[in-house]
Structure 1
Amino acid sequence: MIYPDRGTAGHALGEKLGHLRVADPLLLGLPRGGVPVAVAVREVIGGDLDVLLVRKLGVPWQPELAMGAIGEDDVRVLNYDVMRHSEVTPEQLAAVEELERIELERRRRVLRAQPPIPLKDRTVVIVDDGMATGATVAAACEIARLHEPRRVVVAVPVSSVEALHRIRSVADEVTCPLVPPSLGGVGAAYRDFHQLTDAEVVELLHPTPSGADQ
């Protein structure tokens, strides 16, 4: 199965999450790619929408491979298996982390037009466009837990077997319709997997009222 785009994937994911409608969920999209998925899920099950800011720490010579992730509230998660197999040095890790912290702060300024919606006592649904190693989503789960939600649910359209196993240990519930035996990369599950711009994400989160620019 290949999804035409993130919106279609989100609608398919939302159909699997119908049981959450009564919980008045708080959907947290992981920018950038998780935001259009979260918007589409919300169209199916309702609830509130916000972002949860987290950045992957990619192996320097293979950036798509996550050796860890950082996020809001100074959360930091490392994937020691990837670091060991990639032979990443502490200095290389520190250099990548410094750059990603700068980008994390930039995104906070750009994407947060208002204070975050409180997570306390909410059913929180963390949404991304897919999981390869699960490091980014694992960091997101840790951030969410700091705010004492009622439940932490992870929902993604596609995942590797390994990432799914990892996330099941840190989330209360995981929903993923597509788990191929071998996932070469999340983008392989989509026909349109273009890199979203900040402007696209801002428009999804805070749509311009119809006719406002006329």
Structure 2
Amino acid sequence: MKRHKENADEGPVPSVFRDRRQAGAILAKKLQERYRFAEKPLVLAIPRGGVVTGDEIASRLGADLDVIVSKKVGAPGNPELAVGAVMHDGSFFPNTGIIEVLRVPQAYITQQIAEKKIEIERRLAKFRGGKDYSLEGRTVILTDDGVATGATVFAAINWLKTQKVKKLVVAMPVGPADTLERIRQIVDELVVIHAPEDFAAVGVFYEEFAQVSDDEVVEIMGRWRQRPGLS
């Protein structure tokens, strides 16, 4: 892939992002070009990498930043293959095709939901201090550093639709075209930079894609914790 070194605010959009912050800066610019927000939007970032991207978006838009956590449920014997994803309230987004092909038992899914809820609540307590949200009437921008199969994003979208938000926008640096089209059909707006038909992995689109630590997320969210509008 050809790599550009231009500043995020100038020149062509790079085919490979320098890092998550550059991806966030480009997304923020696209959002500013497409929207004139009547009120302060809320950026909801999926940890951990998405919080870095979300921090950049929120800072540039003058928005609020918060985190939303969903956890993938891996297939029996193959934890990287998502059979679905869980939210903090136990709501489950099923990857129906994989569940049917692998004949995943409901008892396995139920056990995984209970286990994942515990981990989600731990993360929410650590990153934002609790699991209560006040989102009614707000314009929400859901973001991550990229999407692949999309199970965690779909789980978050489905939960957000129960929260009476005013408008739900998904802002994503990169993802496969088919997954992004499915997202586009169920949200108010989708803003995306790269949507290749031939998709390998999110990390391929970044020069620097080191794992983000819990401590980095805590540090970022600590800077936002006292700002008005964060629930």
Q: Secondary structure at the match of 1:176?
A: strand
Determine which of 27, 51, 70 is the counterpart of 1:13.
Answer: 27
Q: Secondary structure at the match of 2:55?
A: helix
Q: Return the alpha-carbon distance in structure 1 between the equivalents of residues 85 and 72 of structure 2.
A: 4
TM score, norm. by length of structure 1: 0.87
2:153 is matched with which residue? 137
1:61–1:21: structure 2 CA closer, same or farther, 3 Å change rule?
A: farther
Judge conservation of contact 1:125–1:153 (CA < 8 Å) in 2: yes
State the Cα deviation string for residues 97-131 of structure 1 (Å, max 9, x = none).
34322211211221123675521111100011111
- 2:63 matched to 1:47? yes
Unaligned runs of 5+ in 2: 1-14, 225-231
Shift of 1:38: 0.6
Equivalent pairs, count: 208
Judge conservation of contact 2:121–2:131 (CA < 8 Å) in 1: no
Unaligned runs of 5+ in 1: 209-214
Q: Return the alpha-carbon distance in structure 1 between the equivalents of residues 160 and 95 of structure 2.
A: 19
1:38 corresponds to which letter in structure 2? G
Determine which of 65, 76, 88 is the counterpart of 2:92.
Answer: 76
**1:46-195 alignment runs, 5 A limit:** 46-113=62-129, 118-195=134-211
- Larger CA deviation: 107-116 vs 151-160: 107-116
2:24 corresponds to which letter in structure 1? G
1:60–1:155: structure 2 CA closer, same or farther, 3 Å change rule?
A: farther
Give the aligned CA root-mean-square deviation in angstroms: 2.1
State the Cα deviation string for residues 69-90 of structure 1 (Å, max 9, x = none).
1112332100112323445343
State the Cα deviation string for residues 144-189 of structure 1 (Å, max 9, x = none).
1222111111111001112112212221111111011221121221
Q: Return the alpha-carbon distance in structure 2 between the equivalents of residues 85 and 162 of structure 1.
A: 20
Divergent runs of 4+, >4 A = 114-117
1:43–1:74: structure 2 CA closer, same or farther, 3 Å change rule?
A: same
Judge conservation of contact 1:6–1:36 (CA < 8 Å) in 2: yes
